[in-house]
Amino acid sequence: MKRRDAVERTKDFFEVALGLDRADAAREASRCLQCKDKPCVKGCPVEIDIPSFIKLIKEGKPEEALEKIKEKNFLPAVCGRVCPQEDQCEAMCVLNKKKIPINIGALERYAADQESAVSRQPSAAGQNKDKKVAVVGSGPAGLTCAAELAKSGYTVTLFESLHVPGGVLSYGIPEFRLPKKIVLNEVAFIQSLGVELRTNVLIGKTYTLDDLFSDGYRAVFIASGAGLPNFLGIEGENAGGVYSANEFLTRVNLMKAYEFPKSATPVKVGKTVVVIGGGNVALDSARCARRLGVEVKLVYRRTESEMPARREEIDNAKEEGIDFMFLAAPKRILVDKNGFCSGLEVLKMELGPPDASGRPRPVIIENSEFTIDADTVIVAIGQSPNPLLAKNTKGLEVTARGTIKVDEHFMTSIKGVFAGGDIITGADTVISAMGAGKKAAKEIDKYLKGYDEI
């Protein structure tokens, strides 16, 4: 897929990847073998009929291709941009044998982007309209569950604590990877199915789960995500100029700090930024910082082969001039006399035998400390489940990791309360959260069909 020039794109926040044109899409679609047993579909957590939509693109019918995708996936323009297809549908494509699988993600994006306006689709006949369901959190899990339930005719309210919907799609993933108007367009489509969206409502504070049941909701789906940043626990971490990736990305993406003072929220970065981590969140932080006009180093304790970030984004970051420092781990943050971060003391690492994740364990090389300058340090070493709702809800059981416990039907320890997405798995992917939202909606439907007998 064509991308904007690396130097040009680091001067703004506009989208990097340009998408396929009609001829490229038709050419790519023509390569598909239309396999009878559809191995690619087995790699898709929401089971999109991939060969069928590709065939429609080949026949020059992108809008029908989009309708086909939307039978299973309510966020196609999002998924076409950020899903790790290389590990899912594309990994299952038979053309891997020839080393060039079909670029399913690019074709999904192409079909989704043909939609000139939000298409309207009536919700199913109102046979379930008298049954109200509350969905907590409007990230991919909540949006998918809400849409599926609305399609089945339920009256659905989607509660979101922030002032805009989308979860990580809005506050985490940057504009240059996922334009916010695309997220809002997909949300508008879900609202057009009849889902009521209520922002600025923190369930567990504004209303408790008991309040929701008293208000006539018969089931609740919790999709509150994993938005609690993890910290390193090292000296100097409380200094000025040290951000969690979560705070940094929220300032930049959600509050548009890059437009300050036109926007209300500033972000102070100085001249040198060091990002700690090797996943998508670390790369997004580094690439946002680069667009604020500063030098950026990324410190990662393993090597490039072990980085959990998407390959495509690693390549983009390199092109944009991010300086990768591998086999290095932070020991302490250096603090100046005003209490601001001035640098980072780093230890050299080497790779040892595999750890529980199956990747080689990073091992410290003793007495290998060295320092690097940093006006800003961004800590991007993972997120944990949001704890507030579980803490404020009696009887809602959580695991030692803070994820909400569910049974095989996505039901929590409280009858009628279901959960899915990052809040039950820990930080994962958009498509796995959507898959959970979809499966949970089926379980909620079954539960509510038997409601009168309960």
Q: What are 220's two structure tokens?
A: 């609740």
Q: Which is nearer to ligand FAD, 43 or 236 (CB)?
A: 43
Does residue 137 interact with ligand FAD by CB under 6 A? yes
Number of other CB atoms surrounding residue 99 within 10 Å: 6
Q: Is 29 in the site for ligand SF4 (CB under 6 A)?
A: no
Q: For residue 12, which of 184, 174, 180, 243 has the smallest C-alpha distance?
A: 174
What three-state secondary structure class fits 73?
coil
Beta strand spans in 165-302 (E): 196-198, 217-222, 228-229, 242-244, 272-276, 295-299
Question: CA-to-CA distance for 49 and 4, rounded, in angstroms?
Answer: 31
Cα distance between residue 47 and residue 101, in whole Å = 18
Q: Minimum CB separation from ligand SF4 for residue 74, in Å?
A: 21
Q: Binding string to ligand FAD for residues 198 to 237, with x set by CB under 6 A, is what?
A: ----xxx------------------xxx-x----------
Question: According to the binding rule CB under 6 A, does residue 33 interact with ligand SF4?
Answer: yes
40 in contact with ligand SF4 (CB under 6 A): yes
Q: Does 26 bind ligand SF4 (CB under 6 A)?
A: no
Residue 55 or 301: the one with the smaller Cβ distance to ligand SF4 is 55
- Out of ligand SF4, ligand FAD, none, what residue 389 binds, judged by CB under 5 to 8 A for its kind, is ligand FAD
* Subset of 146-165 contacting ligand FAD (CB under 6 A): 159-162
Q: Could you tell me the two tokens for 436?
A: 């959970």
Q: Least Å distance between CB 31 and ligand SF4? A: 7
Using CB under 6 A, count the residues that bind ligand SF4. Answer: 14
Question: Which region among 34-42, 129-137, 209-217, 247-255 touches ligand SF4 (by CB under 6 A)?
Answer: 34-42
Structure tokens at 348: 């050299």
- Select from ligand SF4, ligand FAD, none the partner in contact with residue 429, using the beta carbon and a kind-dependent cut-off of 5 to 8 Å: ligand FAD
Binding of residue 344 to ligand SF4 (CB under 6 A): no
103-132 residues in contact with ligand SF4 (CB under 6 A) are: 104
Measured from the CB atom, the residue of 30 and 214 that comes closer to ligand FAD is: 214
How far lies 371's CA from each of 330, 331, 348, 374, in Å?
Answer: 9, 10, 11, 9
Other C-beta atoms closer than 10 Å to the C-beta of 372 total 17
The answer to the question of residue 281 lying near ligand FAD (CB under 6 A) is yes
Residue 50 touching ligand FAD (CB under 6 A): no
- Centroid of chain to Cα 451: 33
Residue with tokens 């240059």: 176
Distance CA 268, CA 133 (A): 42
State yes or no: residue 39 binds ligand SF4 (CB under 6 A): yes
Q: Does 255 bind ligand SF4 (CB under 6 A)?
A: no
Provide the token pair at 86: 């290389």
Collapsed DSSP state (helix, strand, coil) of residue 286: helix
Binding site for ligand SF4 (CB under 6 A): 32-35, 38-40, 50-51, 93-95, 102, 104
